[in-house]
């Protein structure tokens, strides 16, 4: 009998005890007289860290499943305060690890990436910025609360920003227009608050960077994301490739959409609707979808079959929306139990199936790496993580008819279409943030105008129906810009890599799958670009890559007749 999630035990963290034990382990590490001994203490330290992480994660999972649970709510608050202390302790360990006399032996066993991770972590953290980090977290919570507080009245009912979303894709144009105006109005009403929160965030981040000797937040922000092998200049070149080689295709796709909908003079709110006959929906409830997923992963490969049965049998998926459950979806790991966990909020849209493909891709990688020695090798950096999930979305295409029945073609078309059209938006979000952190003292109004300017460059099709949006208010809604600076480009980089898997699987599925499993097994043992090199995927930063990757996608799209959908 496998152990079930409900039997996993949360043990509250006693921070004084943890400090004491961590320090003892660090001393033991320093005193080790041989490489062999030191490596065995590295594993001991990582097991200790895994144990702490498991308690953090268990608490967070149980709190997000039921935010009204007083015990986990209180523990969660406590853990928010403990986290920076654990980061300080890890930092102490990294400093000692960096100076080890057995560096060569450790590299021989684990490769050099562990030392790159140590270096970049030390560059991205110092106890002198802990107070600023706490301030940054507080501002993040203010943003979350402000967004969550939205009450939008429509047709005699009150909605929040996510529940109003279903009307944003209504097939009645007048409803779409009305709803977009209401949403715009809400943001306009709270404009000063958003401006103030963001302005403070930008300045506290700039302050942290300067305290640690950086010119501004840009490079520091890259280090905080663990980026070791590319910089802002590489990303700039990548954005230029997107502009040159992808934009012609996205412009065409938006024109096709206008034609499908029969609308002349498309407005921003029209793009939420893909087909006049409505967007594709899954044909069954949660149980039906999970059963289909079990069959699919059984048929896909022995590895995915074993993994997905483990997830289902151990009850490591919490999929349905429930009262008091937090919003959104995520995958995390419970290291002590060598188990991933998937959290989602099913709502009857195609997004439910995306959970069973995208999040499962993350969880499959985590499961594949559940027994690695080093904790720092269990997940790679974020742009690499999204390759596992986004590529899995493509690997599941042959089974989509079990989920979508008569809507299958619509689903696949929409999925591929939106994967492509997302990239210029993602790049715009990134370019905007570089402007912001390189020009911290511009006024909020100048910031908004800059957003609109960048938007016009990458999303020239967008025409708004309110002055507020026309003057650059759309990004208030993009939480990453507030909460996770410079993260957004990662989705686009991963998408470009997932496209390479898609192109390859259309030619040779077996080869593509073998490559994918290899990538998952590598986990975080290598940096982003090294991972691509090992599995022979094109580096998106190299000029010409985007052009080559986009070509087969363009040809594939050309074979689909969307006018019949």
Residue 64 binding Zn ion, by CB under 5 A: no
User: For residue 405, what are the CA distances in angstroms to 207, 219, 398, 410, 524?
Assistant: 54, 48, 12, 10, 38
Work out how close the CB of 548 gets to Zn ion at its nearest, in angstroms, rounded to a whole number: 25
**380/472 with CB nearer Zn ion:** 380
**154/330 with CB nearer Zn ion:** 330
Work out how close the CB of 491 gets to Zn ion at its nearest, in angstroms, rounded to a whole number: 8
Work out how close the CB of 362 gets to Zn ion at its nearest, in angstroms, rounded to a whole number: 6
Options 183-191, 232-240, 381-389, 548-556: segment touching Zn ion (CB under 5 A): 381-389
* Distance of alpha carbon 313 from alpha carbon 291, whole angstroms: 12
Work out how close the CB of 304 gets to Zn ion at its nearest, in angstroms, rounded to a whole number: 17
Options 227-235, 313-321, 388-396, 557-565: segment touching Zn ion (CB under 5 A): 388-396
**389/525 with CB nearer Zn ion:** 389
Work out how close the CB of 329 gets to Zn ion at its nearest, in angstroms, rounded to a whole number: 9
* Distance of alpha carbon 172 from alpha carbon 546, whole angstroms: 37
User: For residue 512, what are the CA distances in angstroms to 93, 394, 509, 523?
Assistant: 39, 11, 5, 17
* Distance of alpha carbon 318 from alpha carbon 340, whole angstroms: 12
What is the SS3 assignment for 331-391? EEEEHHHCEEEEEEEECCCCHHHHHHHHHHHHHHHHHHCCCCCCHHHCCCCHHHHHHHHHH
Work out how close the CB of 419 gets to Zn ion at its nearest, in angstroms, rounded to a whole number: 13
**184/389 with CB nearer Zn ion:** 389
Work out how close the CB of 358 gets to Zn ion at its nearest, in angstroms, rounded to a whole number: 6
* Distance of alpha carbon 189 from alpha carbon 179, whole angstroms: 15
Q: Scanning the structure block, which residue is given the tokens 């994660």? A: 57
Work out how close the CB of 331 gets to Zn ion at its nearest, in angstroms, rounded to a whole number: 7
**13/531 with CB nearer Zn ion:** 531
Instruction: Compose the 123-142 pattern: x for residues touching Zn ion by CB under 5 A, - for all others.
Output: --------------------
Q: Retrieve residue 333's tokens.
A: 């790991």
Instruction: Compose the 281-320 pattern: x for residues touching Zn ion by CB under 5 A, - for all others.
Output: ----------------------------------------
Number of residues in contact with Zn ion, rule: CB under 5 A?
Answer: 1
Residue 492 in 3-state DSSP? helix
- List 53, 64, 314, 389, residue binding Zn ion (CB under 5 A): 389
* Distance of alpha carbon 498 from alpha carbon 183, whole angstroms: 33
Residue whose Cβ sits closest to Zn ion: 389
Quick one: DSSP state of residue 136?
H
Options 102-110, 151-159, 346-354, 384-392: segment touching Zn ion (CB under 5 A): 384-392
Work out how close the CB of 531 gets to Zn ion at its nearest, in angstroms, rounded to a whole number: 16
Work out how close the CB of 475 gets to Zn ion at its nearest, in angstroms, rounded to a whole number: 21
**389/545 with CB nearer Zn ion:** 389
Quick one: DSSP state of residue 10?
P
Output the DSSP codes for 252-312.
HHHHHHHHHHT-SS--GGGGG---TT-----SS-HHHHHHHHHHHHHHH-HHHHHHHHHHH
Q: Evaluate whether 458 touches 425 at the Cβ level (below 8 Å).
A: yes
Q: Scanning the structure block, which residue is given the tokens 């302790």? A: 89
Q: How many CB atoms lie within 10 A of CB 80?
A: 14
- Nearest alpha carbon to residue 420 among 266, 548, 247, 273: 247
Options 105-113, 259-267, 372-380, 386-394: segment touching Zn ion (CB under 5 A): 386-394
**361/473 with CB nearer Zn ion:** 361
* Distance of alpha carbon 340 from alpha carbon 317, whole angstroms: 9
> Which residues face 331 on adjacent strands?
342
Options 74-82, 389-397, 509-517, 534-542: segment touching Zn ion (CB under 5 A): 389-397
Q: Which residues bind Zn ion (CB under 5 A)?
A: 389
């Amino acid at each position: 009998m496998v152990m079930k999630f409900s039997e996993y035990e949360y043990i509250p963290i006693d921070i004084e005890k943890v400090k004491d034990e961590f320090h003892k382990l660090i001393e033991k590490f320093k005193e080790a007289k041989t490489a062999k001994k030191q490596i065995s203490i590295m594993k001991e330290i990582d097991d200790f860290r895994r144990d702490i992480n498991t308690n953090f994660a268990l608490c967070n999972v149980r709190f997000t499943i039921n935010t009204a649970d007083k015990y986990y709510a209180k523990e969660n608050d406590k853990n928010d305060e403990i986290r920076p202390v654990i980061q300080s302790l890890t930092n102490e360990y990294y400093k000692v690890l960096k100076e080890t006399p057995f560096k060569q032996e450790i590299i021989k066993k684990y490769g050099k990436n562990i030392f790159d991770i140590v270096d970049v972590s030390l560059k991205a953290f110092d106890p002198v910025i802990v107070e600023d980090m706490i301030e940054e977290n507080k501002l993040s919570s203010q943003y979350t609360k402000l967004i969550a507080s939205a009450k939008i009245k429509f047709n005699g009912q009150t909605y929040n920003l996510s529940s109003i979303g279903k009307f944003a894709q209504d097939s009645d144009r007048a409803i779409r227009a009305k709803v977009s105006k209401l949403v715009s109005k809400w943001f306009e009403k709270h404009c000063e608050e958003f401006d103030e929160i963001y302005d403070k965030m930008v300045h506290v981040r700039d302050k942290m960077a300067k305290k640690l000797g950086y010119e501004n937040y840009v490079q520091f922000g890259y280090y905080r994301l663990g980026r070791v092998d590319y910089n802002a200049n590489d990303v700039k070149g990548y954005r230029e490739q997107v502009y040159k080689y992808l934009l012609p295709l996205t412009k065409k796709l938006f024109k096709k959409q206008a034609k499908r909908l029969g609308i002349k003079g498309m407005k921003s709110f029209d793009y939420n609707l893909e087909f006049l006959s409505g967007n594709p929906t899954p044909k069954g409830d949660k149980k039906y979808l999970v059963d289909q997923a079990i069959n699919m992963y059984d048929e896909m490969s022995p590895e995915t079959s074993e993994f997905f049965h483990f997830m289902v049998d151990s009850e490591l998926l919490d999929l349905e929306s429930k009262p008091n459950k937090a919003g959104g979806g995520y995958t995390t790991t419970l290291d002590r139990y060598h188990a991933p966990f998937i959290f989602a909020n099913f709502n009857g849209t195609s997004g439910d199936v995306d959970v069973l493909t995208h999040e499962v891709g993350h969880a499959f990688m985590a499961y594949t790496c559940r027994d690695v020695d080093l904790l720092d090798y269990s997940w790679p950096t974020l742009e690499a993580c999204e390759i596992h999930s986004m590529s899995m979305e493509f690997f599941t295409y042959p089974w989509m008819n079990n989920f979508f029945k008569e809507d299958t073609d619509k689903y696949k078309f929409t999925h591929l279409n939106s994967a492509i059209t997302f990239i210029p938006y993602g790049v715009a979000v990134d370019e905007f943030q570089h402007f912001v952190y390189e020009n911290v003292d511009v006024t909020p109004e100048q910031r908004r105008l800059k957003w609109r300017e960048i938007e016009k460059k990458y999303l020239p099709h967008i025409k708004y129906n309110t002055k507020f949006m026309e003057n650059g208010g759309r990004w208030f809604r993009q939480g990453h810009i507030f909460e996770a600076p410079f993260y957004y480009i990662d989705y686009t980089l991963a998408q470009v890599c997932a496209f390479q898997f898609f192109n390859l699987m259309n030619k040779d599925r077996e080869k593509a799958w073998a490559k994918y499993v290899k990538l998952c097994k590598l986990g975080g043992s290598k940096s982003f670009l090294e991972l691509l090199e090992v599995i022979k995927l094109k580096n998106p930063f190299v000029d010409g890559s985007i052009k080559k990757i986009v070509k087969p996608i363009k040809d594939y799209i050309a074979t689909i007749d969307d006018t019949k959908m």
